[in-house]
């Protein structure tokens, strides 16, 4: 069983226990091809993610810069048909679809997760730590899956030995105090790992985790991390860090306005950090929401 099938099974259970709102809209960022982007803890300013809104105001987020996903979402047919769509049927595309359909399914599942949280009266703990409580120490081996540029300096400055795993061979090389490689086996010597949540979309999660048995801390962060964490905790993820939308209207305006600094969008969100010991569990949340 993959994370996707496990996650969808939970979404199916939610739909069986309580009525789900329908899809209100998919909100896309304006194109900003001049700015390189990464689905990471550092930001919401560069148009790297979309937001799917349900009729009750619940919002799910997903990274959209894999391959030509954003272009196809913006220019492809059928997006207007999402308004009023059945949320469960759309979420099922996370498992049954590819490319754009998979992204739409995933972002809808994340919106359903937010709906569950709100109905259960649950909110993950807030966080001001952009590196997922890694607490890097001198000479400690730390792995990073996906290059979080703004966070590298902080880890290297602590004296840790940083290895970054990237899919793009053009990024490979030795830097001052850290290195980039495409060889995931380099993670096997890392005691801590910081990962992009893009792994949930590009089918590399299980392959990367297979090389992280030595890691006593595995933090997954990014706008896409608004999913149910149960299947991730079961696979060895220790912290899930994402974005919590505080003000839906202001957030959507900030996302779609093209504001370079996305000030409204930033003010409308806060970061959260979710760990297994602080998480009540799916069954408890469902009982509270359905009851």
Tell me the percentage of the chain whose pLDDT exceeds 70. Answer: 91
Q: How far apart are CA 31 and CA 46, in angstroms?
A: 9
The whole-angstrom separation of Cα 41 and Cα 129 is 9
Q: Which of 277, 266, 260 is nearest to 243 (CA)?
A: 266
User: How far is the C-alpha of 237 from the C-alpha of 219, rounded, in Å?
Assistant: 6
Q: In what order do the strands lie in the sheet with 161-165?
A: 173-175, 178-181, 161-165, 141-145, 192-196, 217-221, 239-245, 269-275
For 242-281, what is each residue's pLDDT tens digit?
A: 999 999 999 999 898 866 444 555 678 999 999 999 999 9
Q: How confident is the model at residue 128 (pLDDT cuts 50, 70, 90)?
A: confident
pLDDT of residue 40: 41
pLDDT in tens, 148-194: 888 999 999 999 999 999 988 999 999 998 999 999 999 999 999 99
* Mean pLDDT across 79-83: 82
What are the structure tokens assigned to 289, written together?
């929401």
Contact 147, 49 (CB under 8 A): no
More confident residue, 41 or 21: 21
User: β-pairing, 217-221 with 239-245?
Assistant: parallel
CA–CA gap between residue 109 and residue 105 (Å, rounded)? 6
Q: Contact at 8 Å (CB) between 143 and 212?
A: yes
Query: Residue 244, class by beta-carbon neighbours within 10 Å (0-12 exposed, 13-18 middle, 19+ buried)?
Result: middle
- Name residue, tokens 């998919």: 26
3-state helix, strand, coil in the chain (%, to 5): 40, 20, 40
Between the CA of residue 135 and those of 71, 85, 144, 217, what are the distances in Å?
A: 38, 44, 14, 10
Better-predicted residue by pLDDT, 60 or 291: 60
Q: Is the pLDDT of residue 207 over 90?
A: yes
Rg (CA), the chain: 18
3-123+248-261+280-290 fold:
Enolase-like; domain 1 (3.30.390)
User: Does the CA dihedral 183-33-201-198 come out positive or negative?
Assistant: positive
């Amino acid at each position: 069983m993959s994370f996707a099938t496990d996650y969808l099974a939970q979404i199916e259970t939610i739909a069986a226990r309580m009525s789900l709102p329908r899809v209100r809209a998919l909100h896309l960022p304006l194109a900003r091809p001049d700015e390189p982007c990464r689905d990471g803890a550092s930001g919401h300013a560069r148009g790297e993610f979309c937001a799917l809104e349900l009729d009750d105001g619940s919002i799910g987020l997903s990274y959209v810069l894999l391959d030509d996903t954003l272009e196809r979402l913006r220019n492809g047919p059928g997006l207007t048909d999402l308004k009023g769509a059945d949320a469960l049927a759309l979420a099922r595309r996370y498992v049954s679809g590819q490319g754009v359909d998979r992204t739409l399914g995933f972002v809808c599942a994340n919106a359903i997760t937010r709906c569950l949280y709100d109905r259960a009266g649950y909110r993950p703990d807030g966080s001001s730590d952009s590196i997922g409580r890694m607490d890097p120490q001198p000479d400690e081996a730390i792995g990073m899956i996906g290059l979080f540029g703004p966070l590298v300096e902080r880890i290297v400055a602590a004296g840790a030995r940083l290895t970054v795993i990237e899919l793009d061979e053009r990024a490979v090389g030795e830097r001052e105090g850290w290195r980039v490689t495409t060889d995931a086996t380099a993670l096997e010597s890392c005691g801590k790992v910081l990962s992009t949540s893009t792994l949930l979309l590009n089918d590399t999660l299980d392959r990367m985790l297979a090389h992280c048995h030595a890691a006593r801390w595995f933090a997954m962060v990014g706008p896409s991390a608004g999913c149910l964490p149960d299947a991730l905790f079961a696979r060895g993820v220790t912290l899930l860090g994402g974005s919590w939308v505080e003000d839906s209207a202001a957030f959507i305006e900030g996302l779609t306005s093209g504001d370079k600094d996305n000030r409204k969008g930033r003010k409308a969100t806060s970061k959260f950090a979710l760990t297994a010991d602080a998480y009540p569990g799916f069954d408890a949340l469902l009982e509270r929401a359905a009851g």
